[in-house]
Amino acid sequence: MRRGLVALSLFALMVLAGCLSSTTAGWGVGDGEVKVDFSTESTSATSSLGDEKISFDELLPVGCNDTRVLDNGGNPIKFTGYMAASHFYETHDSLNGAKDLDLAVTASVAIKSMSMKEATNVEGEQIPRVQVKNWNLPLYPETGAGNIDLDEVDMDSSSKWFVLGLIPTTENILYGMQALGEWHQPIQIEGYLVDTNKTMSAGYYSSYHEVNDNCEMEIGQNNIESVYLMVTSIKFQDSVVTSSGDSSDEWVLGDVPFLGRGGFIMFFLIFGIGGAVTMFIFSKIAVAKGASHSMEILVGKKAMAAVSRVKSDIKQARSSGMKSSKQRNAEARKDASIEAKKEGVKPAKRETADSDSLTGFDLDSALQSGPSESTTSEFGSKGSSVVATTEAKNIDSQVTSIPRSVSQQSSPVTSTVPTAQSSVISNTDPAPSKRSHFSSSISGSSKPQQQPKKKVVKKRATKKVQQPEVEPWTENKQETTNSSEEEEEFSDFSF
């Protein structure tokens, strides 16, 4: 199991090797950017990788001339070997010692000097392993444990090394340097040394630098050369980075080993999306099987067999040409619509029960229209739940408008008239018959007053009791008694 996981991890790293890369400085004159105007006669550079923007003018490229001697201009110098370590710079910190042309360097590499053929055959224990602790200064890395410690390389060492501070000459070279993020590979870098005719400090061209017959850089007696290099091309085992980017085997970010860019995309489409679709289909099948098993447990095997027979009968009926009721209805509607179009008659619109029930209903009109009756007043606001309707108010106003003097002068008979308070009134009771006022039977009185037609819902009948004429105070007492009785009767009501 562990071996399988390790193999899968290694395969994933191999596939993603071309998709993951280190970030480098940008190309331009803004913050975190470098721009170089390269010419074999004179070169200028602008860098914003330090604390402030700085410009370098009159940089003289030093190359290999036809006599295999280093001179201004000429052909590019070659640095060939096995790349053991690299480092990229997005910024430079002057507090850590970065100065002068260090600020224009965007990447540094450590290369063990050997031919391209020898570098291709390096494997196993021969692979140089460098552990980088700190690489703040492009030409002077701090290394530690490993089979090579660059700090310890001297004239007694058995291997020869290049430590190069790389300065891009074009934008394509700058972004192509991301290929240097993959350590342990054969490499050949071509470019020009830097001469200013003003300084002889480390990293610049000096008179002790030499090349061989192939314009390849020679290493001095210290077995290590640390120089600035204006890069014009980078060659790998299977690809190349050029100034123009027009090579047929140009390295491009995302180029996956063995598969290539197109192969990786196809691999992703086939095994990525195709695998996802396949897993989705299998998951649906598993869910369906689980549901069938649960249904078989719930309803039993006989019911499941019956369902299967029904399904098979439906399939047979469909295969024999039998149509369902829905299909027949649909065909009938289609035929009817075709005939209606031929006859020029517009087919009737299908209506549902809901549409019939809502025909003519206007919500806005219903909301804007007021109640048929005037608003009733509620005594509930004063502690009572009795509602006085419009009819009760009319009765109360008519009764109270009768003059009391008529009843006192015309007859000793006293009657009690119910007040407006009553029990709960129903508007559906039949209207009472017409009655004439009691004062119309008394002789010598004025014409009987015609009682206006009114709707009395419910009225308590009272007995007329003839009593002798009493003093006014007696009548007032009796009225007080009657009113108290009516209040008691009114308090005794039920809904």
36-62 pLDDT, tens digit each: 999 999 999 999 999 899 999 989 999
Residue 443 has pLDDT above 60, yes or no: no
Q: What is the pLDDT of residue 381?
A: 47
Nearest C-alpha neighbor of 215 from the set 78, 317, 346, 13: 78
Quick one: pLDDT at residue 54?
A: 93
Query: 86 near 183, Cβ under 8 Å?
Result: yes
Q: Where are the alpha helices (DSSP H) in 358-446?
A: 363-368, 390-400, 404-410
Whether residue 360 is predicted with pLDDT greater than 60 in this model: the reply is no
pTM: predicted TM-score of the whole model, two decimal places? 0.54
The residue-averaged pLDDT of 134-162 equals 91
Tokens of 61: 């490229």
Cα gap 425→423, rounded to integer Å = 6
pLDDT score of 95 more than 60: yes
pLDDT of residue 182 exceeding 90: no
Instruction: Pick 102 or 378 by higher pLDDT.
Output: 102
pLDDT at 234 over 60: yes
Read off the tokens for 471. Answer: 């003093």
The pLDDT value given to residue 477: 46
Residue bearing the bigger pLDDT, 114 or 416: 114
Given a cut of 50, whether residue 107 has pLDDT beyond it is yes
Q: Name the residue with higher pLDDT: 9 or 14.
A: 9
Lowest mean pLDDT among 20-29, 85-94, 454-463: 454-463
More confident residue, 139 or 417: 139
Is a pLDDT exceeding 90 seen at residue 430?
Answer: no
Which 8-state DSSP code applies to residue 95?
G
Residue tagged 């201004």 (tokens):
72
- The tens digit of pLDDT for each residue in 240-252 reads 999 998 888 898 8
For the chain, domain boundaries = 16-254, 258-307, 388-425+472-495
Q: Which residues of 414-445 are buried (b: 16+ CB within 10 A; e: fewer)?
A: bebebbebbeebeeeeeeeeeeeeebeeeeee
pLDDT of residue 400: 63
Average pLDDT, the chain: 75
In this model, does residue 141 exceed pLDDT 50? yes
Q: What is the mean pLDDT of residues 173-201?
A: 89
Amino acid at site 456? V
Run of H or E including 331: helix 325-343
Greatest mean pLDDT among 66-75, 246-255, 323-332: 66-75
pLDDT at 18: 45
pLDDT reported for residue 256: 63
Residue 421: closest CA among 476, 495, 483, 375: 483
Residue 350 has pLDDT above 50, yes or no: yes
Q: Is the pLDDT of residue 418 over 80?
A: no
What integer pLDDT is reported at residue 346 of this predicted model? 59
**pLDDT score for 421:** 41
Task: State which H helix or E strand residue 357 sits in.
Answer: helix 353-357
pLDDT recorded at residue 336: 86
Confidence (pLDDT) at 351: 52
The β-bridge relationship of strands 26-27 and 161-168 is unpaired
* Across 15-29, 30-44, 212-226, least confident range: 15-29
- Position 270 pLDDT exceeds 90: no
